[in-house]
Amino acid sequence: MPDYLIENQYAKSKEAVIELHSEYNEVVREVAADDNSYLLDLEKRINSRDDLDDIFMNDGIHFTPPGTEVVGNIIGEYIYKNVLPDSLKQPEISIK
């Protein structure tokens, strides 16, 4: 998270923003579960990685070019496994 957000008093602290963001994500998870909706939980998928410094820009918010590739692969894999009908899946396709 950029320091200017704290300096300009848009947020109390980095920790407070992270906590609020996590609480928001938990509400989204609950709503998706209650509605039996698709949910691609990028927070869990991204935060479990060891290469966060490589996939996020210095602001800790935006993705680097390699980060956008990681996210694109995660989204593609999710769609392929959870959304795409079996009749449209091709066995020779491999997901990174």
Segment 46-91, tens digit of pLDDT:
988 999 999 999 888 889 999 999 999 999 999 999 999 988 887 6
Whether residue 22 sits in one domain with residue 44: no
Q: State how far the Cα of 15 lies from the Cα of 4, in Å rounded to an integer.
A: 14
Whether residue 84 sits in one domain with residue 70: yes
Share of the chain above pLDDT 90, in %: 58
pLDDT of residue 83: 93
In 7-71, beta strands by DSSP E: none
Whether residue 44 sits in one domain with residue 26: no
The pTM (predicted TM-score) of the whole model is 0.76
Joined tokens for residue 60: 């800790």
Whether residue 94 sits in one domain with residue 70: yes
Range of the domain at 92: 40-96
SS3 63: strand
Q: State how far the Cα of 6 lies from the Cα of 33, in Å rounded to an integer.
A: 34
pLDDT of residue 94: 61
